[in-house]
Structure formats: C-alpha cells, structure tokens
Chains A and B, each alone.
Chain A
Amino acid sequence: MKINIIRKVLEVNDRLADEIREKTNLYKTLVVNIMSSPGSGKTSILEKILPLLTEKGYNVGVIEGDIATIKDAQRISNKNIPVTQINTDKFGGDCHLGSEVILPALETFDLEKMDIVIIENVGNLVCPAEFDTGSDYNIVVISTTEGEDKPLKYPLMFRVCQFGIINKIDLLPYLDFDISELKTNINKINPNMEIVESSAKTVDGIEKIINWFENHLK
C-alpha cells in the first residue's frame, strides 16, 4: 500500500531559519553567511573588515563554524570582537552549519545591541549551500588559486549567494588565472551577483566590502 507524504526533507531547518530572520528583523540585526572552499581567505578577510566596521561604530559579532579547533575563533577574538564558536564534530562532524546550531549561537549575543552578525560557515562549496542558516544574505569567497571553473562545478553555491568576493588578487601576477573567465562563469550561474576583487594581504578592495555591508544594514 502506497501512502503519499510530500514533505520537504529540510523542513525543520527551513522553519528555524525563518524563525532566526523574524528574530533578527525585530532587532534590526543584519546577518550575513560567508561561505567558500577551505583556504580561500574567509578568516583573513574578516580580520581586515572587523576592525574597520568597529571603527565606524558598528557592533559586530561573529559565529565561527569549523569541524574542529577554535583557531579561527581565536584569530577573530584577538580583534576584540565577540565570537561564538560552533564545532560541528559535536554534531557528527557535519560539513555545514544548520539553523539548529545558529539559533543558540545567536542567542549568546545581545542582539538588541548588534548591528551585524557574520556567520563564517565551514569551508566547503557543496553542503553549506543546501542549508539555510537564517541569514539575510549569503556571500561566497573564491580565491585566485582555485580555478575559474568553480562556479560551473558548484552551481548551487553561486546561485544562493548575492555577493561574491574574488580574493588573493595580489597573487595574479604569479598565476595563470583568468579573472574575466571566472566572472563569465559566475555570470552564467548568477548574473545578478555583485562581485568585488580583493586581497586580504594588500587590503585592495576591502573598502568595497565595507561599503557592501553598510549598504545592506537594516
């Protein structure tokens, strides 16, 4: 006997994500979820933008997701930024952050005072794209050492992000990397994505990232 069900597999995650947005809308806290493959420079970019956002008077908090270690959280907290670490190995070594771990992490901040909360997701271009974190916007970081075809290989990731940061442009003179091909490929997947080029090392483009945040405050 066949029984029809028709239930979304990620319904619990999606419901909690909506709850997070309701909550953060109430407090006018902008929540941004940053994703990328491992080593493209998420934490290095944060190390550059966090002090600048603080200088401008914004209260910023960071939720750090990693499978293991608190190394990234330490790097952020060295900048005197409140940071909450989520290690997914406690949840079975998950490759992504689901809304069920974001909600309690958000509650560690005084949201009434927070202007911005940045989620640094687990480094991975597949799984995190699938799970709504309750963020208002998704950012993807891709670095010049990764290959121009990444958007075509991971279309969902580039489809769910509204803002793209092409990092490590300081390395361009030493690489056979065609940045216009990368942009063409991003365009094929998500023609509406806003893109900036940056280097966390030379701080090129960092100001543009700050502008993006300021333009999207609630």
Chain B
Amino acid sequence: MHELSIANNIVTIVEEEYKKLDCNGMVQKVYFNTGRMNAIIPDSLKFGFNTIKQNKVFLKEAELIIIESPIILKCKKCNIEKEIDEPFFICEKCGSTNIEVISGMEMYIDSIEVDDNCN
C-alpha cells in the first residue's frame, strides 16, 4: 500500500504550494503524473487522497487527476526511442542492453487548479 504514503506526500506538497499563493480559494483539481513503471493503483491512490484531504479545509473539494505516462526507452547505442507495452528492456533493433528509461519512472505533481484569483 505505497499509495497511502504517496497520497500523504501529495497533500504535503500541495499544502506548501497553496500557502505560497496567498489565496482564499479552494483547490479544485490536483494533477498528478506517474510513470507506468511505478505500479500505482489509481483507485487506491484516490482513496488515500480523498481520506487525507478531509483534514485540510482548502483541499476538501479537490479531485485528484492521475495522468499516466508511458514507458519509453532510449537505446544508448543506436539512439532509437521506443514506447513499450511489455517489460522488455533490450533494444529491439540492435540488441543492446545499454538502455535508458526516458519516461515511465517519474512521479510528480504537475499543477493545481484553484477556484479564486490569487495574488
């Protein structure tokens, strides 16, 4: 259940950013980006987020929007980039194992939407 720790971290970061805004509005949306490698179960993460947000007045109405980014590999030998659906981390073209995962491992808060004009 790493989703609960992750939901907790999301709320902490959103709270920090919200306080910087000097704003009375309510947060309506939180856009969260996660790579497919992270194996996050969206329903579990939303459940965690919706439970924790109840403790924060500014966040009570917020919806967590999860954007999943695909796994994209780059072969460091032949420079080819390819999106994969099955876990197979060897270059299909040249067979090299020198592969960089350029998308699919990330996990970050992209943005928030607030329902009021802030300073």
Contact = CB atoms under 8 A, between A and B. Distances in A.
B79 interface: no
B113 A1 contact: yes
B109 A192 contact: no
Nearest to A91: B5
Nearest to A98: B5
Contacts of B67: none
Contacts of B87: 151-152, 155, 188-189
B88 A126 contact: no
Interface string B1-22: 1101110011011100100010
B10 A9 contact: yes
Contact of B110 (A5, A127, A190): A5
A8 B2 contact: no
B78 interface: no
B2 A6 contact: no
B107 A3 contact: no
A42 interface: no
Given A9-B109, A155-B37, A127 B90 contact: no
Interface residues of B, number: 38
A96 B38 contact: no
Interface SS of chain B: helix, strand, loop or mixed?
mixed
Contacts of B4: 92, 94
A47 to B, nearest CB: 28
Contacts of B2: 94-96, 126-127, 130-131
Given A152-B87, A159-B37, A189-B89, A2 B112 contact: yes
B117 interface: yes
A212 to B, nearest CB: 20
Contact of B13 (A5, A152, A156): A5
Q: What are the 8 A-B residue pairs with the smallest beta carbon separation, nearest first?
A: A191-B97, A127-B2, A155-B87, A4-B111, A9-B9, A9-B107, A5-B109, A8-B108
Interface of B: 1-2, 4-6, 9-10, 12-14, 17, 21, 25, 32, 37-39, 86-90, 97, 101, 105-118
